[in-house]
Amino acid sequence: EDQVTQSPEALRLQEGESSSLNCSYTVSGLRGLFWYRQDPGKGPEFLFTLYSAGEEKEKERLKATLTKKESFLHITAPKPEDSATYLCAVISNFGNEKLTFGTGTRLTIIP
């Protein structure tokens, strides 16, 4: 069974203080790893897809990286508007197009 574990559960940073969120996964043949951002009261919003170890994707202050066992979401010089819950999900080569999600990291950026 596919599993995704995210850490930490919650993270508070000062504005401008860079950090990383972790997503560890176990999957029978990784087809893709996704990062989503979820704001309170809203549905998850797609950020990145990573397909193979060594791959990196960047968007503004966010950079996602992937190894064979985990992915990191690096946040550089965050701003208060980066406050959200960040979700990681995997899709395997076997199965029904289902995404298996982690429980997320709740990020708060303090001005």
Q: Minimum distance between the CB of residue 1 and other proteins, rounded to whole angstroms?
A: 9
Q: Which is nearer to other proteins, 75 or 87 (CB)?
A: 87
User: With binding defined as CB under 8 A, does residue 54 bind other proteins?
Assistant: no
| Binder among 11, 31, 76, 83 for other proteins (CB under 8 A) | 31
Beta strands in the chain (DSSP E): 3-7, 10-14, 19-26, 30-38, 45-50, 56-59, 62-66, 70-75, 84-92, 100-101, 105-110
User: With binding defined as CB under 8 A, does residue 43 bind other proteins?
Assistant: yes
